[in-house]
């Protein structure tokens, strides 16, 4: 693999901050880019808190924490990515935002720079087509929490060069992940399996067949998974679950992929899971959030 160590991460929300942490832990020099100072500071806090928890648990020394933090340059200026060898975009799941980011990255980054998207619900092929280098665009799909989950999907399109896919796969290995390759189809591999399962659980809950705790316990206790589907929906984001269901529906038009109405109503009500403070469970959210 070509030697490089300068990586950009655009968007420092939950996923982007986690991704920046993962790269910095693996020794890469990282630029973490946000749209304004407030979002940038929230991203920095996210990384700092995550590393501090590791220090508290004795998994990381204070010096290692400083070293990792020092390897991340937090910035609001995308032009800082002019030297980046590899960039991961992790901005919210809206094509207009992706268009803006990828147009800038295409202009700013050297022609050889690989541009990866962490999208979970948009077409990587469409994102690649926003650039003049579709052969160098690939999906690099991380799972939440990014510092913990080993699986990473490397998503190829009909435009991506094999060398790009190979490098992205190698990068995923270098940061300690277990990559699988997938072609650009709605849901890729993991979400095409996982999110309909979450949707089914929401439907069971919506029909009042069991309480949310009982539904989650059925899976954690019986199948020995770390989280039940409703708790996982809160972690992933109800809006992300809905977006994935909707692209599955758009692509395959089978009743199996029809989002359950409650999922849609929860998004409309702003009950997005942990990030809004309330989803299926209360996470200390806003006082005016409707109760069950
Ligand atoms: N950042 C960094 N580290 C974290 C973390 C975070 N946000 N959350 C938990 N951890 C670490 C903890 O520090 C701990 O580390 P240690 O073993 O070194 O002490 C370890 O993870 C376990 O955490 P906890 O002991 O606090 O709690 P749990 O054992 O309950 O684990 C969990 C929490 C890792 C979130 C676990 O419940 C889990 O694996 N849940 C399933 C998550 C999952 O399936 N994610 C995929 C969602 S799908 C997706 O993201 C795709 C998208 O496109 C929709």
User: How far does the centroid of ligand 1 lie from the alpha carbon of residue 112, in Å?
Assistant: 34
User: Left (φ > 0), alpha (ψ -120 to 50) or beta: where does 27 sit?
Assistant: left
User: How far does the centroid of ligand 1 lie from the alpha carbon of residue 233, in Å?
Assistant: 13
- Structural domains of the chain, with CATH: 6-183 (3.40.50.720), 192-276 (1.10.1040.10)
Catalytic: which of 120, 123, 160, 199? 120
The residue nearest atom 51 of ligand 1, judged by CA position, is 143
Report pLDDT digits (tens) over 12-42: 999 999 999 999 999 999 999 999 999 999 9
Q: How far apart are CA 202 and CA 114, in angstroms?
A: 38
Average pLDDT score over residue span 183-188: 96
The residue nearest atom 22 of ligand 1, judged by CA position, is 148
Q: How far apart are CA 18 and CA 54, in angstroms?
A: 13
Confidence of residue 5 (pLDDT cuts 50, 70, 90): confident
Average pLDDT score over residue span 211-215: 97
Q: Is residue 262 within 6 Å of ligand 1 at its C-beta?
A: no
Does 121 participate in catalysis according to the annotation?
Answer: no
Does 120 participate in catalysis according to the annotation?
Answer: yes
Q: Which of 16, 145, 234, 246 to mutate to test the pocket of ligand 1 (most atoms within 8 A of CB)?
A: 145
Give this complex's ipTM.
Answer: 0.94
pLDDT at 278 over 70: yes
Q: What is the pTM of this model?
A: 0.94
Which residues contact residue 84 at a Cβ distance below 8 angstroms, ignoring those fewer than 6 apart?
A: 6, 7, 8, 31, 109, 113
pLDDT at 288 over 70: no
Does 191 participate in catalysis according to the annotation?
Answer: yes
Q: How far apart are CA 265 and CA 268, in angstroms?
A: 5
User: How far does the centroid of ligand 1 lie from the alpha carbon of residue 186, in Å?
Assistant: 25
Catalytic: which of 121, 159, 191, 276? 191
Q: Which of 64, 144, 148 to mutate to test the pocket of ligand 1 (most atoms within 8 A of CB)?
A: 148
Mean pLDDT for all residues in the chain: 95
At residue 7's C-alpha, the angle toward residues 15 and 118, to 5°, is 35
Catalytic: which of 153, 156, 159, 199? 153
pLDDT value of residue 287: 47
Q: Is residue 150 within 6 Å of ligand 1 at its C-beta?
A: no
Catalytic: which of 141, 159, 160, 199? 141
Is residue 42 within 8 Å of residue 35, measured between CB atoms?
A: no
């Amino acid at each position: 693999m070509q030697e490089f160590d300068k990586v950009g991460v655009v968007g420092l929300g939950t996923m982007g901050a986690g991704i920046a942490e993962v790269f910095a832990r693996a020794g890469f020099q990282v630029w973490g880019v946000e749209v304004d100072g407030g979002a940038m500071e929230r991203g920095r806090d996210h990384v700092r808190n995550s590393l501090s928890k590791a220090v508290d648990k004795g998994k990381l020394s204070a010096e290692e924490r400083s070293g990792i933090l020092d390897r991340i340059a937090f910035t609001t200026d995308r032009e800082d990515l002019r030297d980046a060898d590899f960039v991961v975009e992790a901005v919210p799941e809206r094509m207009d935002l992706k268009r803006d980011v990828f147009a800038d990255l295409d202009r700013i980054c050297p022609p050889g720079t690989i541009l990866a998207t962490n999208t979970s619900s948009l077409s990587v092929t469409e994102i690649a087509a926003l650039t003049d280098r579709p052969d160098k665009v690939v999906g690099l799909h991380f799972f939440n929490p990014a510092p913990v989950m080993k699986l990473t999907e490397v998503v190829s399109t009909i435009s991506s060069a094999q060398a790009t896919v190979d490098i992205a796969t190698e990068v995923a290995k270098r940061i300690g992940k277990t990559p699988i390759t997938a072609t650009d189809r709605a849901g890729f591999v993991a979400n095409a399996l996982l999110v309909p399962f979450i949707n089914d659980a929401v439907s069971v809950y919506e029909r009042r067949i069991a309480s949310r705790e009982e539904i989650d316990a059925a899976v954690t206790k019986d199948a020995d998974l770390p989280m039940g589907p409703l708790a996982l929906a809160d972690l992933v984001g109800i809006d992300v679950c809905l977006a994935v269901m909707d692209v599955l529906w758009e692509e395959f038009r089978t009743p199996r992929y029809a989002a359950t109405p409650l999922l849609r109503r929860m998004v409309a009500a702003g009950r997005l899971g942990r990030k809004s403070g309330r989803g299926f469970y209360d996470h200390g959210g806003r006082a005016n959030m409707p109760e069950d």
